[in-house]
Chain A
Amino acid sequence: MSAVQAVTPFETIRTPDAASRPVKIHTVAVKVTYGQKEALHGVSIDIPEKAVTAFIGPSGCGKSTFLRCINRMNDTIAGARVEGTIKLDDQNIYDPDLDVVELRARVGMVFQKPNPFPKSIFDNVAYGPRIHGLARSKADLEEIVVTSLQKASLFNEVKDRLNEPGTGLSGGQQQRLCIARAIAVSPEVILMDEPCSALDPIATAKVEELIDELRANFTIVIVTHSMQQAARVSQRTAFFHLGHLIEEGPTDHVFTNPLEQRTQDYITGRFG
């Protein structure tokens, strides 16, 4: 069945924004294969700068796979192959000359399950700045850590226990710690792979609020299973299905006036 789809010419339905934003990430015909299996059949999309773009779609539709292409985390999976073009500010990130370590410093990532390191809260946030040599002095480092924690709306909750292990925090706090950790290396883009799926509703609300604040300074791409979440936090939404990008456009447009039958079926809960 996937072979049939691969040869059928496929056209993504696109609706531009009313006021155009500058493009941060530009991808053309991105294909991903795991061994023999093609998981993504050619995805082309422009992701705007300083906005939240949500990837929605049923499980196994390739949205997380595509997300992991943007900071080349698929490189760490044996047997994964990526074709096509992904440009970050007009620079091809799969260029052999590109330093993948540097790319990942520019494109941070927050995972589905909070994964703080088994270190203190301070060391968790200081980890990135330390390995990239971002702080010139101890005071510098402390400032980066405090600012990052503040930006992640976590500082007030943990300011008295920065030396306690990060693993001792609650799930929601751990996830915000991971966001602070990602912010600390001053990335341009933050990728979030279902960041709230392991959190309770109150922690989810806090993280969503945080994402909305972060939009002012970072380009954010979020994969989510929750359509309400996509509707709440994102400016643009892309709907994936069976390895294809079906439809993308301004969030309110996609949710209120989907142009594709499958998009409509999915957001109204007819499958998924």
Chain B
Amino acid sequence: MGPLWLLALIAGLSFFGFVLGHWKSVVLSGKGRDALAARPGYYGAYVLIWTAIPALLILVVLSVARPFLVEHTVRVNLPEQVLANPTQLSLEISGVRQVATGLKLATHEELEDIRIGVVAARSVFARHGLPLGEDVKPYQLIAASALNVVSDGLNTAVDIAVVAALAFGLIFAFVRVKPRLRARNLVESTILAILIGASSVAILTTVGIVLSLLFQALQFFSVVSPINFYFGTVWDPRFAAAGSTESGQFGFLPLFWGTIYISFFAMLVAVPIGLFSAVYMAEYATSKVRSIAKPLIEILAGVPTIVYGFFALTTVGPLIRDFIALPLGLGTSGNNVLTAGLVMGIMIIPYVSSLSDDIITAVPRSLRDGSLALGATRSETMRQVILPAALPGVVGAVLLAVSRAIGETMIVVLAAGVAARASLNPFEEMTTITVKIVNQLTGDLEFTSPQTLVAFALGITLFVITLGLNVLALTIVRKYREQYE
């Protein structure tokens, strides 16, 4: 049975278990011996949980373990000289997998012919619609048949284990259904476990991302020292095409500066406009205007960033070049920091305005009334009472927008270019960390060269920066909240 069949079986039997548990509890209470400790539905759920959960756990654990067991089998059957070459090993293993598929397609007589060497395995497989790149080596045949044996065995083992778990759970729980049984408590703790599990998935994913970045980044730092990376002022990775041994310079600072500078301009646009529009929406706009204008502003967040990129490339960039940069003699490129910052700022406006709007609206009405009743105008009330009270939330919104700006890639590529440079002139081309990550990972490069690995070092640095911003945001929010409540 395949996993889908097993899942269907689990679902079917669990439902059956629910009906059984429900039925038994109704029958027992009908005899009037004892009042039930929970409603019949809980007894049904009790049997359902005992039937489904252990079987599901076994299925998941075995499915996760399966690839490791299979690969181990293949390795054991491969000769020494193949195992010694790690770059070729993965190719060999996938080759063995294909041969194993082929062996399953072949008929009994053909297998016999292959075994005694009358026909080449490759031609037999090709006849069954499985073309191979090269002739099948004898050790591959051995490994492949071992793989098939183990894999079939595992399938049977999974089937047996799951069915056994289902049967045991169903019977065990059904027998235990008695009027005194506290079925509600078990249902309650199962729900708790599911909720905890869901939260753990998010946390474990983050841990997984960090670890995968970390290992590659450490590999990079074994080639290029962290000091040269973090304090280097020249970014010149040299795609060493001509077989040169030189690996180039990986200075992080120009990228960091570009990121900060572009985000700075973005925030310069997004924070005032976003905040002011939030204040207008929350305090001044009639509900009719608000119901139309708020979704319109939020549309900005839904526009794909590549569209913003086009807008920057074809409209904003040339405008800034022709009307500001050229007349002032500060730059000649349509790609510049200012363009990227402006367009990114527009994209980020809804992040600031929408969150701030909610936060301002959440400030209690009594504070507004108190201030207005003292003869304050609406803007005085806003500046001196509402904004201070809403400040922690607004700071949180702004920092969220900053992490969004730092992570933005597409607008930067199209609006500010890909040249790594550290300069104060906002009319020059510059680029950001994320753009360089994309740059280094696209193209025909080995995954072991520092030119590629540097992307992971950049990635983990970016991760640490945004994490730091989030921690900062939380700290600020917490500090002010204590003061205001």
Q: Is A58 an interface residue (CB 8 A)?
A: no
A118 engages B389 (CB within 8 Å): yes
B375 engages A119 (CB within 8 Å): no
- List residues of chain A with CB within 8 A of the CB of B375: 101-105, 128, 131-132, 185
Instruction: Name A101's contact: one of B367, B376, B389, B484 (CB within 8 Å).
Output: B376
Instruction: Name A104's contact: one of B286, B366, B372 (CB within 8 Å).
Output: B372
Q: Is B142 an interface residue (CB 8 A)?
A: no
Interface string of A96-129 (1 = CB under 8 A from B): 0000011111001101010111110000000110
B376 engages A115 (CB within 8 Å): no
B373 engages A127 (CB within 8 Å): no
Kindly state the separation between the CA atoms of A14 and B368 in the bound complex, as whole angstroms.
37
A76 and B369 in contact, given A101-B377, A105-B375, A167-B485 (Cβ under 8 angstroms): yes
* Contact residues on B (Cβ < 8 Å of other chain), bracket: 20 to 34
Instruction: Name A117's contact: one of B286, B367, B372 (CB within 8 Å).
Output: B367
- List residues of chain A with CB within 8 A of the CB of B483: 118, 165
Residues of chain B from 344 to 393 with CB closer than 8 A to chain A in the complex: 364, 366-377, 380, 384-385, 388-389
- Taking the closest CB of chain A, its distance from the CB of B290, in whole angstroms, is 12
- List residues of chain A with CB within 8 A of the CB of B287: 78
- Taking the closest CB of chain A, its distance from the CB of B184, in whole angstroms, is 39
Kindly state the separation between the CA atoms of A128 and B368 in the bound complex, as whole angstroms.
13
Residues of chain A from 153 to 187 with CB closer than 8 A to chain B in the complex: 165, 167, 178, 181-182, 185
Q: Which of A73, A104, A111 has the most CB of B within 10 A?
A: A104
Q: Is A71 an interface residue (CB 8 A)?
A: yes
Kindly state the separation between the CA atoms of A131 and B56 in the bound complex, as whole angstroms.
67
B374 engages A78 (CB within 8 Å): no
Please report the number of residue pairs spanning A and B whose Cβ atoms sit closer than 8 angstroms.
73
- Taking the closest CB of chain B, its distance from the CB of A81, in whole angstroms, is 16
Kindly state the separation between the CA atoms of A113 and B370 in the bound complex, as whole angstroms.
10
Kindly state the separation between the CA atoms of A181 and B371 in the bound complex, as whole angstroms.
10
A128 and B388 in contact, given A73-B369, A78-B286, A167-B485 (Cβ under 8 angstroms): no
- Taking the closest CB of chain A, its distance from the CB of B386, in whole angstroms, is 10
Residues of chain B from 369 to 420 with CB closer than 8 A to chain A in the complex: 369-377, 380, 384-385, 388-389
A185 and B374 in contact, given A118-B388, A131-B380 (Cβ under 8 angstroms): yes
A118 and B370 in contact, given A78-B287, A128-B375, A131-B375 (Cβ under 8 angstroms): no
- List residues of chain B with CB within 8 A of the CB of A104: 372-375
Residues of chain B from 85 to 100 with CB closer than 8 A to chain A in the complex: none
- List residues of chain A with CB within 8 A of the CB of B370: 111, 115-117, 178, 181
- Taking the closest CB of chain B, its distance from the CB of A162, in whole angstroms, is 16
Kindly state the separation between the CA atoms of A132 and B369 in the bound complex, as whole angstroms.
17
A117 engages B385 (CB within 8 Å): yes
Nearest residue, chain A, Cβ from B372: A76
Kindly state the separation between the CA atoms of A116 and B485 in the bound complex, as whole angstroms.
11
Kindly state the separation between the CA atoms of A76 and B370 in the bound complex, as whole angstroms.
12
Kindly state the separation between the CA atoms of A181 and B384 in the bound complex, as whole angstroms.
15
Nearest residue, chain B, Cβ from A182: B374
B484 engages A165 (CB within 8 Å): yes
Kindly state the separation between the CA atoms of A117 and B370 in the bound complex, as whole angstroms.
8
- Taking the closest CB of chain A, its distance from the CB of B33, in whole angstroms, is 53
- Taking the closest CB of chain A, its distance from the CB of B355, in whole angstroms, is 19
B374 engages A105 (CB within 8 Å): yes
Nearest residue, chain A, Cβ from B368: A76
Instruction: Name A108's contact: one of B366, B374, B380, B388 (CB within 8 Å).
Output: B374
- List residues of chain B with CB within 8 A of the CB of A132: 375
Kindly state the separation between the CA atoms of A83 and B385 in the bound complex, as whole angstroms.
31
Interface string of B268-302 (1 = CB under 8 A from A): 00000000000000000011000000000000000
Interface string of B442-485 (1 = CB under 8 A from A): 00000000000000000000000000000000000000000111
B384 engages A71 (CB within 8 Å): no
Nearest residue, chain A, Cβ from B286: A78
A117 engages B376 (CB within 8 Å): no
- List residues of chain A with CB within 8 A of the CB of B388: 118-119
Nearest residue, chain B, Cβ from A105: B375
Kindly state the separation between the CA atoms of A115 and B367 in the bound complex, as whole angstroms.
6
- Taking the closest CB of chain B, its distance from the CB of A177, in whole angstroms, is 11
Nearest residue, chain B, Cβ from A132: B375
A108 and B384 in contact, given A167-B484, A167-B485 (Cβ under 8 angstroms): no
- List residues of chain B with CB within 8 A of the CB of A105: 374-375
Kindly state the separation between the CA atoms of A104 and B378 in the bound complex, as whole angstroms.
13
A115 and B374 in contact, given A78-B286, A165-B484, A167-B485 (Cβ under 8 angstroms): no
Kindly state the separation between the CA atoms of A149 and B374 in the bound complex, as whole angstroms.
16
Kindly state the separation between the CA atoms of A119 and B484 in the bound complex, as whole angstroms.
8
A131 and B369 in contact, given A78-B287, A117-B385, A118-B483 (Cβ under 8 angstroms): no
B376 engages A131 (CB within 8 Å): yes
Q: Which of A71, A104, A111, A117 has the most CB of B within 10 A?
A: A117
- List residues of chain A with CB within 8 A of the CB of B368: 76
A73 and B374 in contact, given A78-B286, A117-B385 (Cβ under 8 angstroms): no
B373 engages A109 (CB within 8 Å): yes
Kindly state the separation between the CA atoms of A38 and B485 in the bound complex, as whole angstroms.
38
Nearest residue, chain A, Cβ from B377: A101
A115 and B366 in contact, given A127-B384, A131-B380, A165-B484 (Cβ under 8 angstroms): yes
- List residues of chain B with CB within 8 A of the CB of A167: 484-485
Kindly state the separation between the CA atoms of A81 and B399 in the bound complex, as whole angstroms.
43
Kindly state the separation between the CA atoms of A111 and B372 in the bound complex, as whole angstroms.
12
Kindly state the separation between the CA atoms of A102 and B376 in the bound complex, as whole angstroms.
9
B367 engages A71 (CB within 8 Å): no
Nearest residue, chain A, Cβ from B287: A78
A111 and B484 in contact, given A101-B375, A131-B374 (Cβ under 8 angstroms): no
- List residues of chain B with CB within 8 A of the CB of A71: 373
Q: Which of B286, B287, B485 has the most CB of A within 10 A?
A: B485
A73 engages B484 (CB within 8 Å): no
- List residues of chain B with CB within 8 A of the CB of A103: 375
B484 engages A118 (CB within 8 Å): yes
Instruction: Name A127's contact: one of B366, B371, B389, B485 (CB within 8 Å).
Output: B371
- Taking the closest CB of chain A, its distance from the CB of B445, in whole angstroms, is 56
Kindly state the separation between the CA atoms of A103 and B484 in the bound complex, as whole angstroms.
30
Kindly state the separation between the CA atoms of A178 and B370 in the bound complex, as whole angstroms.
8
List, sorted by A's number, 17 A–B pairs whose CB atoms are closer than 8 Å.
A76-B372, A78-B287, A101-B375, A105-B375, A115-B367, A116-B370, A117-B371, A118-B388, A118-B483, A127-B376, A128-B374, A131-B374, A131-B375, A131-B380, A167-B484, A178-B370, A181-B370
Besides the known contacts A78-B287, A127-B371, A127-B376, 7 further A-B residue pairs in the complex with CB atoms under 8 A apart: A73-B372, A104-B374, A105-B374, A105-B375, A111-B373, A127-B374, A131-B376
